[in-house]
Amino acid sequence: MASPSPGRHATQRLHALGFLRGPIGRRILKRHRIRIEQVHGRMTGSSVGLDHLPMHARRLHRVKVWVAILLIILTDLQVRDYNASQAA
């Protein structure tokens, strides 16, 4: 997907915004908003978060690998937290 020119939104983003403004989208967003915020906070605020890229990950193929690895680590942390909460 080509990135849109500055100041313009991608077609997919406009469709998503329209959907979220409708009754079904509002209901889904209301139900999942807290979880979305928690995941976003964890992804950007944890010690392995996506808040910045390391110096060696500046090319697109390296960024993709870096993000994939971080998502795997974050998923593992979430599974461990979930399992610990179920055991308690």
- Are residues 40 and 62 located together in one domain of the fold? no
Residue 4 is assigned to a structural domain of this protein: no
User: Rounded mean pLDDT of the chain?
Assistant: 84
Print the domain residue range for 24: 10-45
pLDDT at 6 (0 to 100): 61
Q: Is the pLDDT of residue 3 over 60?
A: no
Whether residue 39 sits in one domain with residue 23 = yes
CA–CA dist 60, 57 (Å, integer): 8
Whether residues 17 and 41 share a domain: the answer is yes
**pLDDT at site 23:** 94
On whether both 58 and 86 belong to a single domain, the answer is yes
The two three-digit tokens of residue 86, written as one number? 């179920």
Question: 1 lies in a domain?
Answer: no
Residue 19 predicted with pLDDT over 90: yes
Domain count, the chain: 2
Q: What is the pLDDT of residue 5?
A: 58
